[in-house]
Amino acid sequence: MRNSFCQAMLARAAQTPQLFFLTGDLGFMALEPLRDALGERFVNVGVSEQSMIALAAGIRRNGGESWAYSIAPFCYARPFEQIRNDVCLNGLPVRLVGNGGGYAYGPMGGTHHAIEDYGVLLTLSGLRVYVPAFGADVAPMVAAMGAREEPGYLRLGRSEVSDESALPAYQRWRCLLEGAAGLVVVAGPLAGKLWNAWQARDRADRPALWVLGDWSADDQELPAALCQAIAAAPALAVVEEHVAQGGLAAWLLYRLALAGVACPPLHHACARGYPSGRYGSQAFHRRECGLEADTILEALRAAAGLPASALAGPAAQSVAV
């Protein structure tokens, strides 16, 4: 997605002469075209994330359009007070971009993971998070972030779908698959993993798959079609590479309750930190947290009172959810 992001920023920069792009010394092998295009408006502020966010606020306060980039944990955790005070309290539409959401930096270790990023940021007034599921989502998200006069956080990952051309174009809410074995709401690149695993299954033997792309604490309305589908589903699963607290499940269930939608039995597949105390690839951490397609499917079937799927892999039996 970094390359998609770079291309999207090049397009935006071409029509936005006041655009400033700040990076905290990251972007090697990805952002060079943007650096070359922006010239002195591409600013490597050095290893100084707090200053970077405050600088971005100051630039915006002076009329510039500012984007601040780092890897995800350095983008929101270290400079949280700057985001809270300098950006959000001042109502400045600064755009934050964090690369490598969730466990994407796998074996780099826990300091480099971002498994509580959007939950933390959504506590701030007026901020909207954008979590692309696919590479093709990035360009419309960048355009939307630039068009909205509100602070935004873009959580980049790695597109994991086998064939993006088969997917519907970006919308905030998309139904990727119809299905009768429950309903799954997912955020981020895990959507691609689930789509890869389930798209060839019979409709009766797979869940419906919905993906959410951007949301804020101020959003209250849910699509009517989604509400109807959830109400009719035998079970609901929410899937996210993020901890439960502040995550998508809590956000969604609160809105379902406000809308008076009775929620079916729930399974929440989410980041659970480091259950074994050991570290590994993104796939390792997902597996430890039950963030795999087979595991999720079996948990969903169990929640719905359905028999185990004959197509479930061994992981479904080996990981407690």
| Nearest distance from C-beta of residue 141 to other proteins, angstroms | 24
C-beta closer to other proteins: residue 63 or 314 = 63
| Nearest distance from C-beta of residue 90 to other proteins, angstroms | 5
Contact of 2 with 30, CB cutoff 8 Å: yes
Q: Which of 5, 20, 134, 170: binder of other proteins (CB under 8 A)?
A: 20
C-beta closer to other proteins: residue 9 or 319 = 9
Residue ranges in 78-117 that form contacts with other proteins under rule CB under 8 A: 81-82, 85-86, 89-91
| Nearest distance from C-beta of residue 219 to other proteins, angstroms | 23
Determine the size of the site formed for other proteins (CB under 8 A).
29
| Nearest distance from C-beta of residue 22 to other proteins, angstroms | 9
DSSP of 258-320 = HTTPPP-SEEEE-----TTS----HHHHHHHTT-SHHHHHHHHHHHHTPPPPTT--THHHHS-
Q: Which residue has the tokens 């101020």?
A: 218
| Spatial separation of the C-alpha atoms in residues 56 and 67, rounded to whole Å | 7
- For 91, 152, 185, 186, 306, the CA distances from 211, given in Å and listed in that order, are 29, 19, 6, 5, 23
Counting Cα atoms < 13 Å in the Cβ hemisphere of 217 gives 12
Quick count: other Cβ atoms within 10 Å of Cβ 28? 8
C-beta closer to other proteins: residue 81 or 163 = 81
Contact of 194 with 239, CB cutoff 8 Å: yes
Quick count: other Cβ atoms within 10 Å of Cβ 35? 16
Tell me the β-bridge partners of 65.
19
| Nearest distance from C-beta of residue 87 to other proteins, angstroms | 10
Residue ranges in 25-84 that form contacts with other proteins under rule CB under 8 A: 40-41, 43, 45-46, 48, 50-51, 54-64, 66, 81-82
C-beta closer to other proteins: residue 51 or 309 = 51
Is residue 123 a contact residue for other proteins (CB under 8 A)?
A: no
Contact residues for other proteins (CB under 8 A)? 18, 20, 40-41, 43, 45-46, 48, 50-51, 54-64, 66, 81-82, 85-86, 89-91
